[in-house]
Structure 1
Amino acid sequence: MKRRTLLRGMAGMIPALWTARHVNAAALLENALPGEQMIQGPFQPSWQSLKQYQVPEWFRDAKFGIWAHWGPQCQPEHGDWYARSMYQEGSDSYKYHLQKYGHPSKFGFKDVINEWKAENWDPDYLLSLYKKAGARYFVALANHHDNFDNYNSKYQPWNAVNLGPKKDLIDGWAKAARKHELLFGVSVHASHAWTWYEPAQMADKKGPLAGVPYDGKITKAAGKNTWWNGYDPQDLYAQNHPLSAKAEGWDAFNQQWSWGGGASKPSKAYCEKFFNRTVDLINRYEPDLLYFDDTVLPLWPISDAGLRIAAHFYNSSIKRHGSLQAVLNGKILNEEQRQCMVWDIERGQSHQIEPYVWQTDTCIGSWHYDRRVYDKQGYKSAKTVIHTLADIVSKNGNLLLSVPLRGDGTIDDAELAIVEGIGAWMQHNSEAIFGTRPWKIYGEGPAIEEAAPLKAQGFNEGKGKPFGPEDIRFTAKADSLYAIVLGTPADGKVRIKSLAAGSSYYPTAIARTELLGYGPVNVERTAEALVVQLPDSLPGQDALCVKILQA
C-alpha cells in the first residue's frame, strides 16, 4: 500500500482514536504527512491572487546584481550543459569527457561530482569584490539542470554537504552577501532534470562500447564497494522513466522545454520532491530573490508546484519583513504573468520602456566555466557590460551578470580585470544608474533602428548594431536627467538631439550641466541638439554620463 493511501485510511480511523485516547486528530495527520507546508497569507497559488504582487523598491533601485552560476558542471571547465552533452555521442563534450575521465558508461556525471571539491572558494573575498564593482544584489546557483543541490538539502541526498565539496555553499554565499550588505538571491533550475538528463539513458551507437548503456539508469544496488555506496543515482538522474518523443539533440530538448512537443511527463512524486526541495531552500536560507530558469514557473502547466512555491515565497517574505520584499523571476511571461512576478530576459534586452520592472540575465562568458573562453580572450569587456547596463536601466530593467567561477571556486585574472573595470566606471557614474527611473524616452541614436528582435526567452544580445558615441540612453532621478553616452565623440562634442531648443521632451530651461566624475561643462542649446563640450581630460572612455538639472 502506498503511504498516501495508508494515510487516507488512517484519517478515517482518527475520530475513534481521538475518542479513545484523546489524540488531536488534525495534528496527528499533519505530522504524518511528508513534505513542506505552505505558509498562509494573502497570496494563494493562483494567477488571480499573485496579481496582487508589487515589485519592492529595493529591486527597482538596485539595477545591478552579480550571479555565481557555479556548480559541479564547472569542474571540467568545459562550458555549459556539460552534464547533458557529455552523454551525446560525438559531441565536443563527449570527446573531451572520453579524454579526461573515460567513457560515460564507466565514469558518469555522478563521478564528476565526486571530483568537485571547491577547495579555493572564498565567498567573503568574492562578495567584497562584487560590492566594489557596484552590485546591489547577489545571486547564487542553488541547483542546475544537473539536479545537484548546492546546499544542505533535506530532500535531495545528492547535495554539496554530503558529496563533492562537503560544504553548505548556499549558506556560505548567504552569510558573505549579508556581511557586505548585498540583497541575496538563489537561482533554481532543477525542474528540468527529468528530460534534460535523458541522453544518460542511452548508449554509443558505434565503436567498441556500442550498446553499453551510460550510467543514467543505474540504481542504488550497483553502488556496493564504490565511493557512492548508499546513494541512489536515480535521486540525481531521475531517469527511471520512458524517453521523451525527441530525446536526442540540442534542438529536440529545446522544443520540449515548456513540457510540450512530446516531452515525457514527470511523475507526481518528482514534482512534489521539487516543491519540497525549493520550499526547504526558501525556509532555510531566506533569500530576497528567487530566480527560476523555466517558462513561466517550474513544471507549469503540468503541475501547480510553481504556483504553490510562489505563494509560499511571497507569504514568507511578508511574515519575515512585515511587507512584501521578495522578487521572483520567471521567463516567457504573458501580460498577466508579468503582473505576478518579475519578467526575466536571458541574454537579451527589451526594445522599449516596459511598464513593469524586468531583468536581463547574462554572462561575461559561458554559463558554466569554460577554460577555452579564457584562452581565446572571449569574455565580454567591461565596456560591453556598462553599455548593456545603461541600455537596460533606461528601459526600466535590471542587469544580473554572471561571472563564471572555476571548479575550485576562483575567478581568473581576466575576469578580475573586467569586474574591476566595471567598478572603476561605477565609482564616477553610479549616480546615473542606482535609484533612477526611466525618462520620457529611453534613448536616441542609430542602434535603436537596427535592434534585433527577441527570440523565445531573449537571445538578441549582440545581434544588433554596436553602440557608438551617437547612442545615448536616458535615466532620471528627482529633478536630474542623465544622458549616458555610449562612446567618446571624435570631435570632443556630445550632441543630444532630444534636448534641442524647443524639444517637447524637455521644454524647460536648463540650469546646469555636469559631466559625472569631472564637474560643470559648457553647453550650447541649438535647434538641432544640446551640444556638450567635453573637457580634454575625461573621467573614463567607456561611457560618459552628462547630468542635466532643470531651471
Structure 2
Amino acid sequence: MSAKYEEILEYNKKGRYQSEWDSLSKYSIPEWFCKAKFGIFIHWGVYSVPAFANEWYSRNMYVKGSPEFEHHVKTYGPQKDFGYKDFIPMFKAEKFDPEYWAEVFAQSGAKYVVPVAEHHDGFQMYESDLSEFCAVKMGPERDVIGELKSSVEKRGLVFGTSTHRAEHAWFMGVGKEFDSDIHEPLKRGDLYWPSEQAQPDFQDLQAKPDPSEEFLIDWVERTCEIIDRYSPRILYFDWWIEHEAYKPYLKTIMAYYYNRGLERGFPTSVCYKHDACAFGSAVVDVERGKFAEAKPYHWQTDTAIARNSWCYTDSLIYKSSGEIIRYLADVVAKNGNLLLNVGPKADGTFAGEDLSILLDIGEWLKVNGEAIYDTKPWRYAEEGPTKEEEGQFSDGSATEYTSQDIRFTAGNGAIYAIVLKCPEGGKFTIRSISKSADPSKPAFHGLIKRVSILGERSAEEFEVDEKGLSFTHKGIKSAFPVTVKIETE
C-alpha cells in the first residue's frame, strides 16, 4: 500500500463523510447544479488524431476484423510498428485556445463545463505525478485541464471533470493477443499498463478476473490527484465502476471528494450511471437517453451532438439544433440536466457544424432561458400525443413532435409551456390549463393575469375553457420550440 493511498484513507477518517453508503447518502445535490440545467461535455484526446469511427479507437485498432483494425493497418502500418502510443507526438493541439473555447461555451448558454480528464486510453489530459503519459509531458505539453478550468471559471461557468480510467484495466488487453506493441513487461505508469484480460460479459458485475489491487489503488490516487489539483465541482464517472471489485475504492474516492469540497467551502457532485452508487449518494446519469416521465429527484442525461461518436471523426452524423433544443426542454421539464458533448479536432479547433449548433442553442436560450434556468417541474411535465422512449442509448433517431406536444416548467411566478413544434397559423392550445366541471380533476383553477410568448413584446388575448388555454398569434414562425409564459395572480 502506497504512502499516498494511506494518506487518503487517513484523511477520510477525520471527515464528515466516511467510505460507507449510509454516510455518503447524507449528501445533498448542490443547489447550483439543480439551477444550471445545461452543461458542456468535452471528449478530446489522443483518440482525436486518427479521427476514425469513435473514441474507442485505442482498443478497436487492436481488435482483428474490426473496421478500426483494417483502417489502422492500411493507413499507419502493422500495430507492432505503429501502435496507439505513436499517435501521441501527433497530438500537438497547436490551435487549442482555452479562452476561445470558454467563450463559445458561454455563448451556447451552458452553465457548466466537464472535459474528460482521462479516457479509457489512459492518456491524462492534465498534469500528473503518477505517469509520464500526460498532456503536460507529452503531446501538447500543456495542462489542458488546468488551462480550460481557468478560462471557464473566468466567465462564471462551473468547472468539472470526468474520469473514464476504470475501464483502462482491460481496455488495451486485446493487443496482447497478437504481435503488437502491447506486450510485457508493463509497469505502473506505462500507457498500456495493465492491459489485463477483459471480462467476457460487461453486464456481469461480478465477472472475473478482477483488476489487481495495484490498479485499483492507482485509480484512486489518479482520481484524488484530479480532485486535489483542479477542485472540480462535478466528478463524472463512466460505467465500469459498477463492478463489485471497484466498490470499496469508489466509496473511498467519493468520501475524499465530498470531504475536500467541505474543506474548500463549496458543494461537489458525483455523477454515476446504472446503479453504481447507492441511491441518494450522488447524481443519477443516463447515457444517451432519458426518463419518459418526471422524477422527484434531480438527474442528468449526457449525450452528444453527433449520434455515432463522442469524439471528432471524419464521418460524424450530426443531430440538428432543433432536435437538441427539444431534448433540452423535455429533460428540464422532467427535473433533469442536459450535459451535451462536443468533440474538438486534434488541433484544438471546432468543426463548423459543432459551432453552428452550439450558437443556435445559445440564441434560443437568450430568449427562452427563463423557462429553463432555475426552474422547477410544474404539476404536469408534459402533454401531447407523442410518446417518449425511456432508457439508455435511446437517442438514435430524432423524435417527431407535433404542435400539441408541450413541456412545462415553473418559476418566477409563472408557468412556462414550451411548445415543441411551432403551430401552423399561430393557433396555440394548452390543454393542461383548462376549466373542468369535475371537482375531482386537478385542472387549473387559478387566476391568470397575462399570457405572452417569450421574445414577443405584446401580451396575448386568450381564453380558458374546457378545451384549454387558447390564443392565436398570427405570423409566428420558428424551426425551434416556442415558449408561452403564463403569469398567475
TM-score (norm 2): 0.93
Instruction: Tell me the C-alpha RMSD between the 2 structures.
Output: 2.2
Question: Could you tell me which residue of structure 2 aligns to residue 360 of structure 1?
Answer: 301
* Corresponding letter in the other structure for 1:545: T
Question: What's the offset of the Cα at 1:173?
Answer: 1.0
Which residue identity lines up with residue 309 of structure 1 in the other structure? I
Cα drift, residue 510 of structure 1: 1.4
Aligned residue pair count: 480
**Percent sequence identity over aligned pairs:** 34
Q: Secondary structure at the match of 2:369?
A: helix
Structure 2 runs not aligned, ≥5 long: none
8 Å CA contact 1:299–1:305 kept in 2: the answer is no
8 Å contact kept, 1:184–1:289: yes
The answer (yes or no) to whether the contact 1:359–1:399 under 8 Å persists in 2 is yes
CA distance in structure 1 between the aligned counterparts of 2:398 and 2:295, rounded to whole angstroms: 19
Contact 2:62 2:79 in 1 (8 A): yes
TM-score (norm 1): 0.83
**Cα deviation digits, residues 48-84 of structure 1 (max 9, x gap):** 0011011111000000001111111111111220101
The alpha-carbon distance between structure 1 residues 433 and 51, as it changes in their structure 2 partners (threshold 3 A), is same
1:476: which partner in 2? 410
Q: Does 1:452 align with 2:394?
A: no
- In structure 2, the residue corresponding to 1:441 is in which secondary structure? strand
**Against the structure 1 CA distance between its residues 369 and 258, is the aligned structure 2 distance closer, same or farther, given a 3 Å change threshold?**
farther
Q: Which secondary structure state, in structure 1, belongs to the residue aligned with residue 236 of structure 2?
A: strand
Which of 214, 222, 239 matches 1:294? 239
Distance 1:136 1:383, change over 3 A: same
Cα distance in 1 between the residues matched to 2:344 and 2:155 = 19
Alignment CA distance shift 1:134-1:33 (3 Å): closer
- Structure-2 separation of matches of 1:444 and 1:303: 41
* 2:279 equivalent to 1:333: no
What do residues 305-353 of structure 1 show as CA deviations (whole Å, max 9, x unaligned)?
11111011111111111xx51111000028x823000000000011121
**2:192 pairs with 1:237:** yes
- Partner of 1:344, secondary structure, is strand
Matches within 5 A, 1:191-270: 191-203=166-178, 213-219=179-185, 235-239=190-194, 241=196, 243-244=197-198, 246=200, 255-256=201-202, 259-261=205-207, 263-270=208-215
Aligned partner of 1:41 in structure 2 is 15
Q: Contact 2:407–2:419 (CA<8 Å) still a contact in 1?
A: yes
1:21 is matched with none
Task: Extract unaligned runs of 5+ from structure 1.
Answer: 8-29, 204-212, 221-231, 247-254
Alpha-carbon shift at residue 545 of structure 1 (Å): 0.4
Partner-residue secondary structure (3-state), 1:372: coil
- Over 3 Å counting, the alpha-carbon distance change for 1:357 and 1:35 in structure 2 is closer
Structure 1, 489-498 or 137-146: larger mean CA deviation: 489-498
Matches within 5 A, 1:113-152: 113-152=88-127
2:140 to 142, 153, 165: 165
2 CA distance for matches of 1:239 and 1:103? 22
Separation of aligned partners in 2, 1:473 and 1:309: 37
Q: CA deviation at 1:96?
A: 1.6
Counterpart residue number, 1:226 = none
Of 364-373 and 301-310, the range deviating more from structure 2: 301-310
* Partner SS, residue 38 of structure 1: helix
State yes or no: 1:342 paired with 2:276: no
Q: Give the AA of the match of 1:333.
A: D
The 3-state SS of whatever aligns with 2:366 is helix
CA–CA separation in structure 1 for the residues paired with 2:370 and 2:412: 12
| Contact 2:41 2:342 (8 Å CA) reproduced | yes
Q: Does 1:526 align with 2:465?
A: yes
